[in-house]
C-alpha cells in the first residue's frame, strides 16, 4: 500500500507558488503521490504540469477530471503533454461528475453515464497507448491518432462509487479511484475489492480517498468539525456529530 495526499487548490494571487510549496512539502514528507481535483478553479492537469515539473520524485494524479466537458482525444493529448512535462509521473483519474454539474451547468445529456464512460475509455485508452482510435458509439465518435510525445503509458483510474459503475468494473476490470472508500460498509468493501481483480486478469490498482484529521485527543476537534455543518454522506465519526473521515490519535513522538 502506498499513501498519498490531496492538494488543496490555492486561491488568490500567485496560486502556483503555493501549489508548488504544497507539492514540495508532500515529497519531502515522504508521500508517494499527490492528487488534485478538477473543480471550478485551476485546471488540474495544467496546474500539475506547472508545479510537478519543479518537484521531482513524487507521483502526480488527478482525482478526478470530469469526462463530459472534454472529448477523450482532447483529454488524451493533454494528459500525454503533462506526462512529458513531468517525466512520466502522471496518473490520470477521470470520472463522470454529477448530473447537477453536467446537465444543469454544462448542458450535456447525462441520461446514460455508464455507457458514456465505456465509450469514453474505448477512445481514450488506445490514444494514450499511442494507437489510432476508430470508434463510433451512441454517445461519442472518434477517428483520430495523436503524435504527442510521452515517456511511456499514462495510467488511468476511473471513479466508480455508484452501483452501476462498480458492476461495470466487475465485468470490465479497470483501475479505480473511489472517493471516501473507507466509508463503505464491510460488505460493500468486500464487493469493491472483488472488482479490483479478476480470475483471468491481474489485480488492478484501487485508490481510495478519505478525510483524515490528526489530533492528540479526538474530542478536541469536535467543535471545529461541528462548524462544518452537514456533510451528508461523510457520516458521523467518533461521536463528534459531524462527518470527518477519520480522527487519528497523534502521540508525542509522531511527526
Q: What is the pLDDT of residues 222-232, one digit of tens each?
A: 555 555 444 44
- Average pLDDT on 17-44 reads 96
Residues 6+ apart with CB under 8 A from 49: 81, 82, 85, 86
Selected residue with higher pLDDT from 63 and 1: 63
Phi-psi region of 163 (alpha: psi -120 to 50; beta: other; left: phi over 0): alpha
147 CB neighbour count, 10 Å cutoff: 7
Q: Is the dihedral of CA 204, 170, 93, 248 positive or negative?
A: negative
C-beta pairs of 76-81 under 8 Å, 24+ apart in sequence: 76/123, 76/124, 76/127, 76/128, 76/146, 76/148, 77/127, 77/146, 77/148, 78/45, 79/45, 79/128, 79/154, 80/128, 80/146, 80/148, 80/149, 80/150, 80/154, 81/49, 81/148, 81/150
In sequence order, the β-bridge partners of residue 141 are 136
The string of pLDDT tens digits covering residues 35-65 is: 999 999 999 999 999 999 999 999 999 999 9
Task: Please check whether residue 159 is in contact with residue 177, taking contact to mean a CB–CB distance below 8 angstroms.
Answer: yes
Query: pLDDT band for position 1 (50/70/90)?
Result: confident
Q: Is the pLDDT of residue 219 over 60?
A: no
Instruction: Give the start-end residues of each E strand in 110-159.
Output: 133-136, 141-144, 156-158
| E runs forming strands in 192-245 | 212-215
Q: Which domains does the chain have, with CATH numbers?
A: 4-159 (3.20.20.30), 211-255 (no CATH)
26/20 Cα distance (integer angstroms): 10
Given a contact cutoff of 8 angstroms between Cβ atoms, the answer to whether 48 and 85 are in contact is: no
- pLDDT in the model for residue 209: 74
Inter-axis angle of helices 72-85 and 113-128, nearest 10: 40
Say how far apart CA 94 and CA 232 lie, in whole Å.
23
pLDDT digits (tens, 9 = 90+) for 73-84: 999 999 999 999
Helix (H) or strand (E) holding 77: helix 72-85
pLDDT band at 20, cuts 50/70/90? very high
**Interatomic CA distance for residues 94 and 191, integer angstroms:** 21
Instruction: Indicate the helix (H) or strand (E) that contains 114.
Output: helix 113-128
CA nearest neighbour of 61 among 4, 119, 133, 19 = 4
Cα separation, 189 vs 224, in Å, equals 29
The 10s digit of each residue's pLDDT in 190-209 is 555 555 555 555 566 777 77
My answer on whether omega of the bond before 127 falls inside 30° of 0, hence cis, is no
- Mind listing the pLDDT tens digit for each residue in 112-150? 999 999 999 999 999 999 999 999 999 999 999 999 998
Amino acid at each position: 500500500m502506498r499513501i498519498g495526499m490531496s492538494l488543496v487548490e490555492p486561491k488568490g494571487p500567485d496560486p502556483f507558488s503555493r501549489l508548488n510549496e504544497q507539492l514540495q512539502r508532500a515529497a519531502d514528507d515522504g508521500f508517494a503521490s499527490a492528487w488534485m481535483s478538477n473543480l471550478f478553479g485551476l485546471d488540474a492537469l495544467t496546474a500539475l504540469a506547472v508545479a510537478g515539473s519543479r518537484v521531482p520524485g513524487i507521483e502526480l494524479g488527478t482525482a478526478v477530471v470530469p469526462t463530459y466537458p472534454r472529448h477523450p482525444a482532447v483529454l488524451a493529448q493533454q494528459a500525454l503533454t503533462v506526462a512529458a512535462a513531468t517525466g512520466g509521473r502522471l496518473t490520470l483519474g477521470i470520472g463522470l461528475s454529477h448530473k447537477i454539474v453536467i446537465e444543469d451547468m454544462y448542458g450535456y445529456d447525462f441520461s446514460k453515464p455508464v455507457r458514456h464512460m465505456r465509450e469514453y475509455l474505448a477512445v481514450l485508452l488506445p490514444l494514450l497507448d499511442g494507437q489510432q482510435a476508430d470508434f463510433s458509439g451512441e454517445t461519442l465518435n472518434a477517428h483520430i491518432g495523436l503524435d504527442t510525445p510521452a515517456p511511456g503509458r499514462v495510467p488511468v483510474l476511473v471513479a466508480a462509487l455508484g452501483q452501476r459503475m462498480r458492476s461495470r468494473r466487475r465485468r470490465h476490470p479497470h483501475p479505480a479511484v473511489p472517493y471516501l472508500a473507507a466509508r463503505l460498509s464491510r460488505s460493500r468493501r468486500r464487493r469493491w475489492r472483488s472488482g479490483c481483480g479478476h480470475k483471468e486478469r491481474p489485480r488492478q490498482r484501487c485508490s481510495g480517498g478519505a478525510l483524515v484529521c490528526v489530533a492528540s485527543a479526538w474530542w478536541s476537534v469536535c467543535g471545529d468539525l461541528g462548524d462544518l455543518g452537514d456533510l451528508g454522506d461523510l457520516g458521523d465519526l467518533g461521536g463528534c456529530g459531524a462527518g470527518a473521515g477519520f480522527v487519528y490519535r497523534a502521540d508525542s513522538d509522531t511527526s
